[in-house]
Structure 1
């Protein structure tokens, strides 16, 4: 669990922006297909993740979700990657990993068996898993960089609506948000 408290403000918008930047996604991609969606999920559950996985398959977009136990906490329970395959989609718990300060982060499964990075076309691709020692240092470095970026990123509400999302899987939380 990662504490993303940024001084009382909700960290979700800043986190999605910081993750996008850290992965190396262009800030103004222009026309074309977005192959990766980044967002947050409050009240995660297996049925909710399955619903998002089905949507990812239908939209032909992989998804990276920051999971929060509820809509009030600033503690991120982890990241879930929904990665499309020929047979459907896999849902994996992942961590960000920055192997070098000059390169974008990659995401690595928590079991350290798979790693993914964005290619030149901004499609998520499988890549070699670095050594365990490099991964452990890289995960720590990635979270430090993401926290630092969160404190400096300015969120444009119009940009948030267009390119990022937050998913509520609890009906009351959604009603409270809309009120």
Structure 2
């Protein structure tokens, strides 16, 4: 679990923007970014993640979801990657990993069996998993960099609507949000 408290403000929009930048996606939504969707999910559940996986397959977009236990908390329970395969989609818990400063992050599964990075076309591709020592330092470095970016990122509401999303897996939480 990662505490993303940024001074009382809800961290979800800043986190999705910071993750997008850290992965090396273009800062403006548009061509080249439609292969990966980045968002947050409050009240995650297996059925909700399965729903996102089906939507990812239908839309032909991988999805990266920061998971929060509820809509009030600033602690991220983890990050789920919905990665499309030829047979459907896999749902994996991943961590961001920055192997060296100035390089885009890669995503490493928590079991350290798989790693993914964006290619030149901004499509998520499988890659070799770095050594355990590099991954552990890289995860710490990535979260430090993401937290720092969250503090400085300015969220444009129009850009948020166009390129990012939040998903409420609980009907009451969605109703509260809309009220």
TM-score for both structures, normalised by structure 1: 0.98
Distance in 2 separating the partners of 1:176 and 1:32: 34
Give the root-mean-square deviation of aligned CA atoms. Answer: 0.9
Distance in 1 separating the partners of 2:168 and 2:30: 28
Checking the alignment, whether the CA contact within 8 Å between 2:29 and 2:159 is kept in structure 1 is: no
Asked whether 1:74 is paired with 2:74, we answer yes
Task: State how many pairs are aligned.
Answer: 179
For residues 133-148 of structure 1, the aligned pairs below 5 Å read 133-148=133-148
My pick for the range that moved more, 93-102 or 31-40, is 31-40
In structure 2, list runs of 5 or more residues that go unmatched: none
Distance in 1 separating the partners of 2:31 and 2:43: 33
Partner of 2:38: 38
Query: Residue deviations 1:139-167, cap 9 Å, x none?
Result: 00000000000000000011101100000
TM-score for both structures, normalised by structure 2: 0.98
Distance in 2 separating the partners of 1:105 and 1:120: 14
Find the residue that maps to 1:129 and give its secondary structure.
coil
Superposition deviation, residue 29 in structure 1? 4.9
Find the residue that maps to 2:57 and give its secondary structure.
helix
Report runs of 4+ in structure 1 exceeding 3 Å deviation. Answer: 29-33
Distance in 1 separating the partners of 2:175 and 2:10: 17
For residues 163-178 of structure 1, the aligned pairs below 5 Å read 163-178=163-178
